[in-house]
Each structure stands twice: as C-alpha cells, then as structure tokens.
Amino acid sequence: MKTLLKTVLITAALAVSCSATALEPLQDRAQVKHINSTLLMPDGSDMNVDMSFDCGSEFKSTGIIVTTEQGAKFLANAYSKLYGSVAGEKVKQAWLTKANPDDPRKPTMLLINDFGSLDWTVNSTKVTELKHFSSTQSVNESYTGPNVLQLCGTRSHHPTELQ
C-alpha cells in the first residue's frame, strides 16, 4: 500500500511539474515540440531518434541545431566574433572530437541552448568578413558563450540524457 501511495504521489508531482514547464502555444508563431530523425550510421544502417522539446527535456531551450561541418564552421566563426576566440575554439573542438573518449563516434549534431540574455543587434548594413579560426588558441581560457551540446556520438539517445 505504501509503494502504491508513493507511486501515485510521484506521478502527481511529475504531472504538476511537467505542466509548469510544458510548451505553451504562442500567439503569432509555431514552436518546435518534437523532431523525429533518422541517422545514417557509419556502418550504413539507420537509427531512429526522437527529440522532444517539451516538458522536462534537456532540449527545451534549444535554439540552434548544427548537423554539418559547414554549420559547425559557421557557428565557430560566429562564436569567435560574439564571444571571443576561445568560444569559437570550443565549438570547433566540440564538432571535431568525441564528447567522451569511449564514445563510438564523433557527434552527429551540436545543439546550442541556454543563451542567457541576448538582444537584437543594432541595424547595420556593413558586411564584416569573418576570419578563420585558429587551432592554436587555448581552450582552457574562460568561456562565456551559450552551451554547446555534442549529441548522437554516444549510444544513448534518450531525450533527457545528454551524454
């Protein structure tokens, strides 16, 4: 009986906490709530992956998903410009290395979330040439940019487990 009561209370608590963090409809824009992906694995097989952006998921505040090397290069250059060369190097290393040494492969995608307080930039028509990032920068310097999450290089693909 105690176990049943605990189960009911835990379920009720989760239901209340999930509804408090669940996505709410926006008045003038749709929101991504769930993405189904099929990954082409190095051995030629397919793996289906579901990503929920709702209720307790670590993906809920994701704003950018990078799935190609060109995308990673673009993001690294943007981070270098916005947050400094250390931030750009962090993105580069996140794309080029496994999240954990024992992972079977490098990440399939990078997710960017926890942006903090950002404002729109001032209107400008000036085009600035982005410089290529240098692999000689130290990654141990302090870093202040948004989180960079390495995904799908590990065996776990549960939406609440990042690594």
Output the pLDDT for position 72.
96
Beta bridge partners of residue 151, listed in sequence order: 109
How would you write the pLDDT of the chain (163 residues) with one tens digit per residue? 555 444 444 444 444 444 445 778 889 988 888 899 999 999 999 999 888 887 777 777 888 999 999 999 999 999 999 889 999 999 999 999 999 999 999 999 999 887 777 777 766 555 454 443 333 333 444 556 777 778 777 665 554 554 4
φ, ψ (nearest 5 deg) of residue 40: -90, 110
Contact 51, 37 (CB under 8 A): yes
**In this structure, which amino acid lies at residue 93?**
Q
Question: Who contacts 147 (Cβ-Cβ below 8 Å, separation ≥6)?
Answer: 112, 113, 114
- Residue 68 CB neighbours (<10 A): 10
Residue owning tokens 């920068």: 137
> Of 95, 86, 80, which Cα lies nearest the Cα of 138?
86
Residue 157 has a pLDDT of 53
